[in-house]
Amino acid sequence: MPVVDALVGKGWRVRYLCQEDLPVAAISSRQRWLARLIRLPGVAKVGHRQQLLGALAERLHMGWFAAQTARNEGFTAVHLHDPWLGLGFWLGLKALRLRDVRWGVTEHGFGCYSRATHEDGLTQGPRLQRWLRRMEAATLGAANWVIAPTQLALDQLARDLALPFNPKHWSVIPHAAPQMAVLDRIEARKQLGWPLNGFHVLGVGRLVPLKRFDILVAACASLASRYPALHLHLLGDGDRSSLQQMADAAGFGDRLHFAVVDDVLPYLSAADAYASTSVTESFGLANFEAMLVGLPCICTAVGGVPEVMGRGAWLIPVDQDVLADALEQLMCKTELRQALSARAVVQAERAPKLTWVTDRYVELFHR
């Protein structure tokens, strides 16, 4: 949305299209078609295939609706936020014979979209994966531009799609550094109701297997008996039960805290350290924001994280023991926390600003 607002400030007419914009009748029609499709042989009674078909139908429908909106409202550039949306738009483009609309796709995951959706729970077998990747390669080949937030993500995308090199219409546009005014730590803790003298570790992200919060909870629980002031705060939506049970079994349950919030700044301001245990990240926006406020950051060196965080974070493998050792060192060594914080500030100063990022999008739309 900051980029959308900046484009409007430059005189562009921008509409951000989302599911809520779909007419009720169109949604009902899609649901009726989907109800018929999931009864087909090979799909009926196979839960993961039904889920995948539902996701594909929703994305293709939304892409088609974007093509209709571009025709009806006279838009000249359309940017889709995944290749399945792009495929729906491309099909709509052909069916509606739109010749003066340029379009492109962002690949937000690390690697191709079929891989990202599979890792995120939309199970796909080898044959279906091959078909989806061919479809994705064709869609990206038809687009006027393809972007990813890191060079590492773009290179992995080419490998996943078995391309010998990155095509010329592919480019990197990172996320812009948001304006973040850090609050006073003590005041932030009072506002959140945190113990003022505790050591507070923060994790941010959806509570899904990919984020491996089980490693973070287990690492903190292993230190709990020796460090009674240690608290872990997880910000994100999802199933908390397994993580809470793990913490309860280790006697750490009353020091594990969950929240779902719109504004993470008070939490970033109040924390002593930030930890990310994800097994895949294209960019890692939560890591990025923690670094921008100067928090000592421990992050798994996966996906595009090394490119984004650089020396601004302590990069580790996805390993519980290594993480526990790093957290213990941070708790015990004030000078180490200060050094990591200083490195985060230096790296944050190199982060791209909103004006630069917006100009890159303008170049794409004009090119």
pLDDT (tens digit, 9 = 90+) per residue, 257-275? Answer: 999 999 999 999 999 999 9
* Start-to-end C-alpha separation, the chain: 22
Phi, psi of 297 (to 5 degrees): -115, 135
Q: Does this chain's domain 2-176+355-366 share its CATH topology with 185-349?
A: yes
CB 56 within 8 A of CB 84: yes
Running along the chain, 367 residues long, what does each successive block of 10 average in pLDDT? 93 93 91 86 82 91 96 95 97 93 94 91 90 96 96 97 95 92 93 95 95 97 96 96 96 96 95 97 95 96 96 96 97 96 94 95 88
Tell me the one-letter amino acid at 204: V
CA distance 15 to 66: 10
pLDDT for res 41:
85
Q: What CA–CA distance (Å, rounded) separates 133 from 162?
A: 9
The count of C-alpha atoms lying within 13 angstroms of the C-alpha of 354, restricted to the half-sphere facing its C-beta, is 12
Q: Measure the CA–CA gap between 145 and 178, rounded to whole angstroms.
A: 25
Give me the residue spans of the domains in the chain.
2-176+355-366, 185-349
Residue indicated by tokens 């004009």: 366
Residues linked to residue 315 through DSSP beta bridges, in sequence order: 299
CA distance 244 to 309: 30
**The amino acid at 84:** W
pLDDT given at position 317: 97
- Alpha-carbon distance of 132 to 114, in angstroms, equals 6
pLDDT over 70 for what percent of the chain? 100
Q: 300 pairs with which residues across the strands?
A: 316
Tell me the C-alpha distance between 263 and 186, whole Å. Answer: 18
Q: What pLDDT does residue 366 have?
A: 84
The residues, any chain, with a CB within 8 Å of residue 20's CB and separated by 6 or more, are none
Pairwise CA distance, residues 108 & 149, whole Å: 7
> Contact at 8 Å (CB) between 131 and 90?
no
Q: What is the pLDDT of residue 223?
A: 97
Q: In the chain, how long is the greatest CA-to-CA distance?
A: 68
> What span, in angstroms and rounded, lies between the C-alpha atoms of 140 and 317?
32
Q: Which amino acid makes up residue 58?
A: E
* Residues contacting 349, CB < 8 A, separation 6+: none
> In the CATH scheme, what architecture does the domain 2-176+355-366 have?
3-Layer(aba) Sandwich (3.40)
The values of phi and psi at residue 277, to 5°, are: -120, 20
CA distance 154 to 148: 6
- Quick one: tokens of 286? 């939560």
**Gap between the Cα atoms of 308 and 306, Å rounded:** 6
Looking at the domain 185-349, which fold is it? Answer: Rossmann fold (3.40.50)
Choose among 259, 253, 312, 269: nearest CA to 288. Answer: 312
Decide if 163 contacts 192 (C-beta within 8 A). Answer: no
